[in-house]
Structure 1
Amino acid sequence: MMAIAVAVLAIGVALAGVSFFRPNTVVDTHRYTRQVILHYTFSRADHPFIVLGDSITEASTLPRSACDHALVNAGLDGASTASDLGTWLNDVLEGRRAGAIVVALGTNDALQGREQKEFEANYASLLAKLKGSADHLVVLGIPSVEVRGRMPADYQAATMRRIDAFNAALPALAEKAGATFAPLPPMGAPHTIDGVHLDTAGYAVWDAAVLKGVSGACGTH
């Protein structure tokens, strides 16, 4: 509850119109704000299906429920495997158990040039933290990026090499953690609005993969 109290205070400061925040403080405020929203959402949901991810998740077009379970968007803009989302989510779950948690991360790791070993270690640590909080864990594949908007060709190519390597490692990481791997089918071109964030066609594929991933948890409660 202390974390929630701090988050409420952070929201109050933000709403007061303070204009001298450093950029990282603004990010931290959003992190706390999202926790408060999730806290209220979880208080109304029994064994929810949670999708934990970055801005692709936060801006997603997912339905509000799946097989009679609330489908909760726990996306956090800018998140990566280094963002300690396991602690972030567990703090607001406060001992509640999720029916399923879908982990949808990796895009920002690839964009930031994270090394393969660090990505795999971070991902394994995250799954270990989440394992006790859900009946089912699902690992979602990472969508491709495009040469579009402000994404130049050389940066896209380097990012795609990392995404391909990350995706190749995800099935084994999922299996080791007792999770289900949910691959993303190929997306047509274009499937983003800016090279990274999905457009309507991209989300149609992404949403379907999430729903297929949680289907194994349907009917467990």
Structure 2
Amino acid sequence: MRKGVLVAFVVVAAATLSYQLLETPVEKLRQDATVRRVQDFMARHGTDKAIAFVGDSLVESASFSPALCGRPVFNAGYAGAVASGVLQLLKEFGRVGFAPAIVVVSVGVNDSLVVDRRPFAESYQEIVRRAGAHGGKVFVVSLAPIADTGVLANAIDRARFADIDRTIRQTARDRSLALIDVGTLNTPAKAQVEDGIHLSADGYAAWTGTIESAIGGRCP
């Protein structure tokens, strides 16, 4: 009985924390820190056009190759990101003059944990529009699979998760964008860690491998 109560408490606490990321300056602080990293990156690489990854903690924790398609890679992921936050980050890219050759968008799982201030579909449409506004190529990444159980997986709204994934795929079709489908990850062991959402080493190997292969096959 106590174990069940503890698990329930952890789930509620995790969901509450995610919600607070939307209602407090935490996400803004993470965006600002990312923008500072962007400016440092621009100072180091000059006029080199980068490949930029934007998204949540799945992106942030990924070990992408330092260069793809002969271009430097910049990881702009940050923990807790929801679609409206990624949209704001892309606006900041424009403000500081950061215009990547390729923008890879991987966001949505946090939007299935909490309800954002703005509907996901609205934010996502503007994300892909802004991502391509500087003339760069845009790749969109489907949602990665989540486990049947886990502290965070149990807090997922499964219907909203499926709807978000459909929105990503439909947006790719409607706008003729390159879709990177990571909905199935073939791994020798479990693709997720114990929370049921974040990726294990095997999960990351499959996830990043799929993404990098897709980009490498369609270099601009």
The TM-score, its normalising length taken from structure 1, stands at 0.76
Partner deviation per Cα, 1:172-202 (whole Å, 9 max, x = no partner): 2023334211111512462122211111111
Counterpart residue type for residue 146 of structure 1: A
Aligned to 1:110: 112
Query: Which secondary structure does the structure 1 equivalent of 2:76 belong to?
Result: strand
SS at match of 1:82: helix
Say yes or no: does 1:198 pair with 2:196.
no
CA contact (8 A) 1:50 1:72 kept: yes
> How far has the Cα of 1:114 moved from its partner?
5.9
Shift of the 31–213 alpha-carbon distance from structure 1 to 2, 3 Å rule, reads same
User: What is the distance in 2 between the residues matched to 1:128 and 1:166?
Assistant: 17
Match of 2:163 among 148, 165, 175: 165
1:182 aligns with 2:184: no
Q: Is the 8 A contact 1:148 1:195 kept in 2?
A: yes
Q: How far apart in 1 are the matches of 2:181 and 2:153?
A: 26
Q: Is 1:40 aligned to residue 19 of structure 2?
A: no
How far is 1:44 from its partner? Answer: 2.9
- Residue 33 of structure 1 aligns to which amino acid in structure 2? A
Task: Measure the CA separation in 2 of the matches of 1:171 and 1:149.
Answer: 26
User: Structure 2 length as normaliser, TM-score?
Assistant: 0.76
2:82 to 47, 68, 80: 80
Give the Å deviation of 1:144: 1.9
In 1, Cα distance between the equivalents of 2:71 and 2:170? 28
Alignment partner, residue 208 of structure 1: 209
Number of equivalences? 192
CA contact under 8 A between 1:55 and 1:79: conserved in structure 2? yes
What percent of counterpart residues are identical? 20
Corresponding residue for residue 56 of structure 1: 58
- Equivalent residue letter for 1:52: V
Distance 1:200 1:96 in 2: 31
1:213: how far off? 3.1
Sort the Cα spacing of 1:108 and 1:151 in 2 relative to 1 into closer, same or farther, 3 A: closer
CA spacing shift, 1:27–1:165, aligned 2, 3 Å: closer
Shift of 1:214: 1.9
